[in-house]
Amino acid sequence: MIGAVWQRARRFAQREDGVATLEFVLTFPAMMMILLSSIEVGMMTLNHSGLERAMDLTVRDIRLSTGTAPQYDEIKDRICQRAGFIKDCGNNLKLEMVQVDPRDWVGVSREATCTDASKEVQPKTTFKNDAKDNELMILRACAKIKPIFPTTGLGKKIKKDGAGQYALVSTSVFVQEPR
């Protein structure tokens, strides 16, 4: 009886049909995870580069338009108009503008203040737009984005808030031009 079991096991081990199926079953999940993570990284990069470009153009406008002090909503609208790929930008973008002294440096906090759709609405953050001439200003924007594949690969591993969104942060520094 034991000899029959060994004989069947030996015959099964010598068979070669089904080998391609085994390779497919072992490699397909890994290949799909790499593919889906690549798509996620591509969209993340597209959104972040759009936010960076919008910030650069908006800060350039602020620097060149001397004599005016744009308000929070105006700056936010300009950034949202230029950052085309960020969905629902008006609700998912939060700005922070801080005046700093370059001779007595106290930078901004490491954690950017962002929106969180799972919590109650938070008031506006620090936003100081009444700087004097030649003062150093830091403008930081935080946009919240939903991952494309939240349960797979990178979309699963990235740090998200309670609503399942991750933060894209862009920071720009400029000097308030003389009026």
Q: What is the domain range of residue 30? A: 15-175
99-115: string of b/e by CB count within 10 Å (b at 16+)?
ebeeeeeeeeeeebbbb
168 occurs within a structural domain? yes
Per-residue pLDDT of the chain in tens (179 residues, 90 and over written 9): 788 888 888 887 777 776 677 788 889 999 999 999 999 999 999 999 999 999 999 999 888 876 677 788 899 999 999 998 888 888 889 998 888 887 887 777 788 788 765 555 455 555 565 656 677 888 899 999 999 998 888 888 898 888 888 999 999 988 876 66
CB neighbours of residue 21 within 10 Å: 9
Nearest Cα residue to 140 out of 178, 121, 113: 113
Q: 141 near 169, Cβ under 8 Å?
A: yes
9 occurs within a structural domain? no
Q: What is the pLDDT of residue 127?
A: 57
2 occurs within a structural domain? no
Q: What is the pTM of this model?
A: 0.77
When divided into structural domains, the chain yields a total of: 1
